[in-house]
Amino acid sequence: MALNGWVVYNGFLPSDKFRDFALMLQEAAHDKNHQLILKRNDEIINNFTDQYIKKKPDYILFTDKDIYLANMLERAGIPLFNNASAIEISDDKIKTYERLVENNVPIPKTIVAPKTFGYDIDKDQLPVQHALRHLGYPLIMKEAFGSFGEQVYLVHNEDDLHRYLEKINGAPFVFQQFIASSFGVDLRLQVVGNEVVAAMKRSSQDDFRANITSGGTMEEYEANDYEKELAIKATKAIGAHFAGVDLLFGEGDQRYVCEVNSNGHIRNLLDCTGINVAPYIIEYIEKTLQS
């Protein structure tokens, strides 16, 4: 099916990971005879209209978090994969947890810190004391916005609590149950449509986070039906077409959804499993546009 599309990525981020993701999608699209053009977000003028778009593409793979731009492109009537709403929810972990809870997807016990308009919250205030009573030490403090396992802190004691409250500095965040059985290990399942197309297990010997960026290792993993069901349900909960879903190991067979990444990078999955997710995404787009 001959289609014309764009891959929009952020032109301001220094890491090559973002352009690499776009290139993987472009190559898979070209294999399907699509004409897919890479575009930096600063190459598209957003003046709340689409008058600067001379020739609209059939679809856009939007791999950025520039929600204002994504909204403008959707108003122009261009199908976005993922859509602006899914990207916005995924980018905000608090909104993500709201959607997961609404859809009965298991997450660790989570307490949302109050909005402070940028002012610090004191450790003696009610929400902090409530978190300590109900979660105890150690616990997790996680900022609403952050990537690659950053802005996530393991709090062992009052000194840690004070230090991380200062570091967060009024940004939105949550207190979360620390899942000790998942220390330094988690799962990444890649969902496309109604299917888990690849999975890997990530591990770290000396960090509670298992992210590869933080020094973790990876191995191919055969997800069971329950894990697949959770990942697909989590992806649908945020309204995404495709997503990388991170699962934590609870006691026994219990699993918890930790994060849903609407623009999860797929290079590590390819290196680990030999499965290139990009062709699955392009095939999904073809089927969606044909339906």
Q: How far is CA 139 from CA 115, 146, 161, 179, 280, in A?
A: 20, 18, 9, 9, 38
Q: How far is CA 254 from CA 105, 135, 226, in A?
A: 12, 18, 9
Per-residue pLDDT, 205: 86
Helix, strand, or coil here: 138?
coil
Per-residue pLDDT, 147: 82
Kindly compute the dihedral angle of the four CA atoms of residues 41, 147, 29, 269, in this order, to the nearest 10 degrees: 160
Please give the helix or strand (H or E) that residue 17 lies within, else none.
Answer: helix 17-31
pLDDT tens per residue across span 68-125: 999 999 999 999 999 999 999 999 999 999 999 999 999 999 999 999 998 888 888 8
Per-residue pLDDT, 48: 81
Please give the helix or strand (H or E) that residue 44 lies within, else none.
Answer: none
Per-residue pLDDT, 146: 86
Please give the helix or strand (H or E) that residue 265 lies within, else none.
Answer: none
Ranges of residues in the chain with a pLDDT under 50 are none
The residue among 34, 37, 50, 43 whose CA lies nearest residue 12 is 43
Q: Can you tell me the distance from the alpha carbon of 22 to that of 38, in angstroms, rounded to the nearest whole number?
A: 7
Please give the helix or strand (H or E) that residue 211 lies within, else none.
Answer: none
Q: Can you tell me the distance from the alpha carbon of 219 to that of 54, in angstroms, rounded to the nearest whole number?
A: 46
Amino acid at 248: L
Per-residue pLDDT, 162: 93
Question: For residue 265, how many C-alpha atoms fall within 13 Å in the half-sphere facing its CB?
Answer: 19
Question: For residue 178, how many C-alpha atoms fall within 13 Å in the half-sphere facing its CB?
Answer: 19
The residue among 108, 104, 161 whose CA lies nearest residue 132 is 161
Residues 6+ apart with CB under 8 A from 258: 107, 108, 186, 246, 247, 248
pTM flag (> 0.85): yes
Per-residue pLDDT, 50: 74
**Measured distance between the N- and C-terminal CA atoms of the chain, rounded to whole angstroms:** 13
**Cα–chain center distance at 85:** 13
Q: Can you tell me the distance from the alpha carbon of 115 to that of 141, in angstroms, rounded to the nearest whole number?
A: 15
pLDDT tens per residue across span 29-48: 999 999 999 999 999 989 88
Report cis status (omega within 30 of 0) of the bond before 82: yes
How high does pLDDT run on average in the chain?
94
Q: Beta strand pairing status for 4-9 and 59-62? A: parallel
Q: What domains can you pick out in the chain, each with its CATH number? A: 4-82 (3.40.50.20), 89-107+181-290 (3.30.470.20), 110-178 (3.30.1490.20)
Contact 44, 69 (CB under 8 A): yes
- Tokens at residue 3, please? 């289609």
Q: Can you tell me the distance from the alpha carbon of 182 to that of 186, in angstroms, rounded to the nearest whole number?
A: 6
Query: Computed over its alpha carbons, how large is the radius of gyration of the chain?
Result: 20
Contact 52, 44 (CB under 8 A): yes
Q: DSSP letter for 52, please.
A: T
